[in-house]
Amino acid sequence: MAVTLKDVAREAGVAISTASRALSGAADPITSTGTRERVREVARRLKYRYNLHARCLRTGRSETVGILACDLGQRIGLAKLLAVEAAVREKGYRTLLRYRHQAGLKGRQLGFAQEFASSEVEGAIVINVDAEHSGPLGALIQRGIPVVSLEPLEGVPADVVTVDRMAGAYLLTKHLLDLGHRRIGLLCSSLTTPGLAERHWGYQQALAECGCSFDEAVFARLPSNVALGTCVRGYEAARELLARRPLPTAVFCSNDEVAFGAMKALAEAGLRVPEDMAVVGFDDIEMAAFAPVPLTTVRQPVGEQATQAVALLFERIANPDDERPPRAIRLKPRLVVRASSGGPVVVSDGRED
């Protein structure tokens, strides 16, 4: 059906091997200029396209990296996905997307990482996985396929390029403390999940420096049903928090979407932002500046994270026998002060840590 290398060779009057050389090697004069041009002309005329699987089977390289993600409810995750895709493409590689909706998890217990066929991908970038998949990820690495994660991973010997959430949380909390807040609410889905625990530590550290301590009463958990959407979950958690007394004077939201939800809950309760309650988010998605009250938040260096992760991955791919231990790169986020915290609107770059 499809036109193959044999057709091109026959039409051009050369051997298959010659045709292959004429088409693959870019500048190597392993074929004479005459035949090379002739073969290429024929290939163009016949609309020849190489067969991916034959080439990959023969060369042993698939020129593909897998992108693994579990929950892309937040805009920041999608931004990272796109950034990784761009960085991978920059290297001339393909991207295979493997996405597991949270809702679909119960259907199949098998981790999706181990589902990769042999030589399907040469490496993988993990945007975001829940803990249940760390096992399969380990199996992947054991098969000699390098993995780089954008989130902290426990018990898996993978390189990680993370955004220092602790520093981010510290910056935000410090910012609120500097503005005089002493009772700062906390809205997130868990205190123990790796990425979130980090945030909590940063929050607590800033509190401790100020002589304050964490009061469980200001913590409201997001509903676990992700099908609700992150804004809605933030809204629900905020309503729960607002029912308690005494009210905090500020609230720390685990991401910008949650902050949007919280703002709605505050507005409905007749509370003004930031006069009655300050609000800060996390991520600095584009909409943060367009929130009901422009949102003070912390910016994740998405592009840099993707670039570095992909660079690390390709380094591993190029040196498969290199047994060097997993590396961890932590990128510093940047405080973006807007109106929702009530402070003077400035941007400090937070590199002092």
- Candidate segments 51-59, 159-167, 171-179, 239-247, binder of its own copies by CB under 8 A: 51-59
Among residues 128, 230, 297, 300, the one that binds its own copies under rule CB under 8 A:
230
Q: In the complex, what is the shortest distance from the CB of residue 10 to DNA, in angstroms, rounded to a whole number? A: 11
Among residues 120, 130, 215, 315, the one that binds its own copies under rule CB under 8 A:
120
Among residues 16, 78, 197, 210, the one that binds its own copies under rule CB under 8 A:
78
Our finding on whether 282 is near its own copies (CB under 8 A) is no
- Candidate segments 13-21, 184-192, 201-209, 310-318, binder of DNA by CB under 7 A: 13-21
Joined together, the tokens standing for residue 24 give: 């693959």
How many other C-beta atoms can be found within 10 angstroms of the C-beta atom of residue 178?
Answer: 12
Q: In the complex, what is the shortest distance from the CB of residue 90 to DNA, in angstroms, rounded to a whole number? A: 22
**CB-based burial of residue 125 (10 Å sphere; 0-12 exposed, 13-18 middle, 19+ buried)?**
buried
Q: Distance (Å, rounded) from C-alpha 210 to C-alpha 60?
A: 58
For 152, 234, 254, 281, 323, the CA distances from 339, given in Å and listed in that order, are: 31, 20, 18, 12, 49
C-beta of 234 vs 333, nearer to its own copies: 234
C-beta of 24 vs 319, nearer to DNA: 24
CB 147 within 8 A of CB 123: yes
- Candidate segments 36-44, 111-119, 155-163, 325-333, binder of its own copies by CB under 8 A: 111-119
Task: List the interface residues with DNA, window 38-77 (CB under 7 A).
Answer: 48, 50-51, 54-55, 57-60
Q: In the complex, what is the shortest distance from the CB of residue 275 to its own copies, in angstroms, rounded to a whole number? A: 16
Number of residues that bind its own copies (CB under 8 A): 53
C-beta of 50 vs 290, nearer to DNA: 50
- Candidate segments 11-19, 164-172, 255-263, 335-343, binder of its own copies by CB under 8 A: 255-263
For 4, 93, 121, 195, 320, the CA distances from 314, given in Å and listed in that order, are: 31, 10, 12, 25, 10
Our finding on whether 223 is near its own copies (CB under 8 A) is no
The set of residues, in sequence order, having a beta carbon less than 8 Å from that of 213 and lying 6+ positions away, is 207
Among residues 21, 94, 330, 332, the one that binds its own copies under rule CB under 8 A:
94
250: nearest Cα among 180, 200, 167, 170 = 180
- Candidate segments 33-41, 154-162, 252-260, 326-334, binder of DNA by CB under 7 A: 33-41
CB 282 within 8 A of CB 255: yes
Cis, peptide link before residue 274, omega less than 30° from 0: yes
Among residues 154, 286, 323, 352, the one that binds its own copies under rule CB under 8 A:
286
Number of residues that bind DNA (CB under 7 A): 32
Beta bridge partners of 330: 162
How would DSSP label each residue in 274-305? TTT-EEE-SB--GGGGGSSSPPBEEE--HHHH
Our finding on whether 31 is near DNA (CB under 7 A) is yes
43: nearest Cα among 10, 77, 88, 82 = 10
Joined together, the tokens standing for residue 304 give: 């840099």
The set of residues, in sequence order, having a beta carbon less than 8 Å from that of 9 and lying 6+ positions away, is 15, 16, 18, 19, 39
Contact residues for its own copies (CB under 8 A)?
1-2, 4, 47, 49-57, 62, 67, 72, 75, 78, 82, 85-86, 89, 94-97, 99, 101, 104, 116-120, 139, 143-144, 229-232, 235, 257, 260-261, 263-264, 286-287, 289-292
Contact residues for DNA (CB under 7 A)?
2, 4-6, 13-18, 20-21, 23-24, 29-36, 48, 50-51, 54-55, 57-60, 118
